[in-house]
Structure 1
Amino acid sequence: MIHAAAPAADPRNIRAVATIQAVGNAKAGEPVRFRGVAYTGGMLRVAGFESGVVIDLAGLQIPGSLPIATDHRSDLDARLGSATARVEDGALVIEGTIVPGTPSADRAIALMRAGGLSLSIGARPVKLERLRDGATINGQSFAGRPEVATESELVEVSAVGVGADRGATAIAAGATPTGGGADPVIAERERIANIDASFSGLAGDEAQGIRATAIKDGWTLERAQGEALQLLRASRPNVNGVRGASTGGVSPAEKLTAAALTLAGQDAEKLIGAGAASEGAGLGCNSALDLCAAALRMEGHTIPTSRSQMIEAAVSTTSLPIALAAGVEKVALDSFMNAAEPWRMFARKISLRNFKPTELVRLAASARFLELGGDGELKHAPIGEETGNIRLRTFGRIVGLDRRTIIDDDLQILNDIAGELGREGARTIGDIVNETLEAGVGTFWHTDNGNVMTGSGSALSVDAIAFAIALVRKQTDSSGRRIGLMPRFLAVGPDNEAFGRAVLNSLEVEVAEGEPRGNPVRGALELLVDPRIEGLQWYVFTDPRDACLAVGLLDGRESITLEQREPPAEKLGMQWRAFIDAAAALR
Structure 2
Amino acid sequence: MSIELVTRYAPLAPAGPSTFDPQTRSMRAVVAAGAEVERYDARGRYVEVLDHRGIVIPPGGSVPLLNAHRRSDLGDVLGSATDIAAKGATVEATLTLSSRDDVAPIAADIAAGHIRGVSVGYRVLARTETTDAAGGRRVTATRWEIAEVSLVPIPADPRATIREAPMTTPTEPTPNPAPAPAVVNPPPADTATRASINLEIRSIAAVAGLDQGWIDSQVDANATAEAARAAAFEAMRARTAPAGTIRTATVVHDHGDPIAIRAAMSDALAHRMAPSLCKLEGRAAEFRGFRVLDMIGDLAQARGERINLRDQAALMERAVGAHSTSDFPLLLADAANKALLANYEVAAPTYRLWAARRTFSDFKDTSFLRVGDFPRFEETNENGEVKFGTLSENREKVRAKELNAGLIIGRRALLNDDLGALADFSSMIALRAAADENKRVYDLLAANAVLSDGVALFHATHGNLAGSAAAINVSSIGAAVAALRKQKSLDGLPLNLAPRYLVTGPDSELAARQVLAAITAAKSGDVNPWAGTMELVVDANIVGTAWYIFADPAAAPTAVYGYVSGAEGPQIRTEIDFDTRAVKVAAGLDFGAGVIDFRGAQKNTGA
* TM-score interval, smaller chain: 0.5 to 0.7
Partners of 2:155 and 2:354 lie apart in 1 by 45
Going from structure 1 to structure 2, the CA distance change for 1:536 and 1:557 (only over 3 Å counts) comes to same
Aligned to 2:282: 278
Partners of 1:503 and 1:586 lie apart in 2 by 28
1:396 pairs with one of 404, 408, 422: 404
* Contact persistence 1:503–1:521 (CA under 8 A): yes
1:501 and 2:513 matched: yes
Aligned to 2:78: none
Aligned to 1:532: 541
Aligned to 1:480: 492
Going from structure 1 to structure 2, the CA distance change for 1:230 and 1:299 (only over 3 Å counts) comes to farther
1:423 and 2:435 matched: no
Partners of 2:565 and 2:499 lie apart in 1 by 29
Aligned to 1:561: 571
1:199 and 2:122 matched: yes
Q: How far 1:464 sits from its partner (Å)? A: 1.3
Partners of 1:353 and 1:227 lie apart in 2 by 45
* Contact persistence 2:296–2:326 (CA under 8 A): no
* Contact persistence 1:295–1:320 (CA under 8 A): no
Going from structure 1 to structure 2, the CA distance change for 1:198 and 1:247 (only over 3 Å counts) comes to closer
Going from structure 1 to structure 2, the CA distance change for 1:391 and 1:447 (only over 3 Å counts) comes to same
Aligned to 1:550: 560
1:351 and 2:356 matched: no
5+ long unaligned stretches in structure 1: 1-41, 44-138, 142-186, 206-210, 216-220
Residue correspondence of structure 1 range 129-168 to structure 2 within 5 A: none
Q: How far 1:533 sits from its partner (Å)? A: 0.6
Going from structure 1 to structure 2, the CA distance change for 1:227 and 1:540 (only over 3 Å counts) comes to farther
* Contact persistence 2:255–2:261 (CA under 8 A): no
Supply the AA of the counterpart residue of 1:282: E
* Contact persistence 1:296–1:317 (CA under 8 A): no
Aligned to 1:178: none
Aligned to 1:411: 419
Aligned to 2:265: 256
Supply the AA of the counterpart residue of 2:299: A
Give the root-mean-square deviation of aligned CA atoms. 4.4
1:432 and 2:440 matched: yes
Going from structure 1 to structure 2, the CA distance change for 1:521 and 1:318 (only over 3 Å counts) comes to same
Partners of 1:535 and 1:326 lie apart in 2 by 43
Q: Say which one has the larger Rg.
A: 2
Partners of 1:585 and 1:466 lie apart in 2 by 28
Secondary structure in 2 matching 1:415: helix
Partners of 1:452 and 1:247 lie apart in 2 by 65
Q: How far 1:362 sits from its partner (Å)? A: 2.6
Partners of 2:338 and 2:568 lie apart in 1 by 12
Describe the superposition over 1:395-451 as per-residue Cα deviations: whole angstroms up to 9, x where unpaired.
121124323333333322563221222222222211210222222256111110011
Supply the AA of the counterpart residue of 2:562: G
* Contact persistence 1:283–1:294 (CA under 8 A): no
Secondary structure in 2 matching 1:556: coil
Partners of 1:416 and 1:565 lie apart in 2 by 19
Aligned to 1:310: 315
Supply the AA of the counterpart residue of 1:574: V
Supply the AA of the counterpart residue of 1:324: L
Describe the superposition over 1:296-351 as per-residue Cα deviations: whole angstroms up to 9, x where unpaired.
32333313644244223223344221122111111111222221311111111111
Query: TM-score by structure 2 length?
Result: 0.54
* Contact persistence 1:394–1:580 (CA under 8 A): yes
1:447 and 2:451 matched: no
1:372 and 2:380 matched: yes
Residue correspondence of structure 1 range 220-259 to structure 2 within 5 A: 224-225=148-149, 239=250, 251-259=260-268
5+ long unaligned stretches in structure 2: 4-53, 57-81, 86-92, 94-119, 129-140, 158-248, 451-455, 597-607
Q: How far 1:241 sits from its partner (Å)? A: 5.5
* Contact persistence 2:277–2:343 (CA under 8 A): no
Secondary structure in 2 matching 1:434: helix
Residue correspondence of structure 1 range 505-516 to structure 2 within 5 A: 505-507=517-519
1:297 pairs with one of 296, 301, 306: 301
Q: How far 1:582 sits from its partner (Å)? A: 1.0
Q: How far 1:509 sits from its partner (Å)? A: 8.6
Going from structure 1 to structure 2, the CA distance change for 1:229 and 1:354 (only over 3 Å counts) comes to farther
Partners of 1:528 and 1:583 lie apart in 2 by 22
Going from structure 1 to structure 2, the CA distance change for 1:452 and 1:296 (only over 3 Å counts) comes to same
* Contact persistence 2:278–2:339 (CA under 8 A): no
Q: How far 1:365 sits from its partner (Å)? A: 5.6
1:287 pairs with one of 284, 288, 291: 291
Supply the AA of the counterpart residue of 1:542: A
Q: How far 1:528 sits from its partner (Å)? A: 0.6
* Contact persistence 2:270–2:278 (CA under 8 A): no
* Contact persistence 1:250–1:279 (CA under 8 A): no
Residue correspondence of structure 1 range 81-160 to structure 2 within 5 A: none
Secondary structure in 1 matching 2:363: coil
Q: How far 1:479 sits from its partner (Å)? A: 2.5
Supply the AA of the counterpart residue of 2:472: L
* Contact persistence 2:297–2:315 (CA under 8 A): yes
Query: TM-score by structure 1 length?
Result: 0.55
Going from structure 1 to structure 2, the CA distance change for 1:359 and 1:202 (only over 3 Å counts) comes to closer
Supply the AA of the counterpart residue of 1:543: D
More moved, 284-293 vs 548-557: 284-293
Supply the AA of the counterpart residue of 2:263: E
Going from structure 1 to structure 2, the CA distance change for 1:284 and 1:488 (only over 3 Å counts) comes to closer
* Contact persistence 1:258–1:280 (CA under 8 A): yes
Describe the superposition over 1:347-366 as per-residue Cα deviations: whole angstroms up to 9, x where unpaired.
11111111111122235467
Q: How far 1:269 sits from its partner (Å)? A: 6.8
Going from structure 1 to structure 2, the CA distance change for 1:258 and 1:306 (only over 3 Å counts) comes to same
Aligned to 2:335: 327
Going from structure 1 to structure 2, the CA distance change for 1:396 and 1:262 (only over 3 Å counts) comes to same
Going from structure 1 to structure 2, the CA distance change for 1:584 and 1:329 (only over 3 Å counts) comes to same
Going from structure 1 to structure 2, the CA distance change for 1:204 and 1:267 (only over 3 Å counts) comes to farther
Q: Identity of counterpart residues, as a percentage?
A: 24
Describe the superposition over 1:77-100 as per-residue Cα deviations: whole angstroms up to 9, x where unpaired.
xxxxxxxxxxxxxxxxxxxxxxxx
Residue correspondence of structure 1 range 518-529 to structure 2 within 5 A: 518-529=527-538
* Contact persistence 1:491–1:540 (CA under 8 A): yes
Secondary structure in 2 matching 1:584: strand
Partners of 1:505 and 1:324 lie apart in 2 by 49
Going from structure 1 to structure 2, the CA distance change for 1:424 and 1:509 (only over 3 Å counts) comes to farther
* Contact persistence 1:259–1:280 (CA under 8 A): yes
Partners of 2:507 and 2:573 lie apart in 1 by 40
Partners of 1:479 and 1:493 lie apart in 2 by 35
Going from structure 1 to structure 2, the CA distance change for 1:433 and 1:295 (only over 3 Å counts) comes to same
Partners of 2:448 and 2:549 lie apart in 1 by 15
Q: How far 1:286 sits from its partner (Å)? A: 2.8
* Contact persistence 2:258–2:302 (CA under 8 A): no
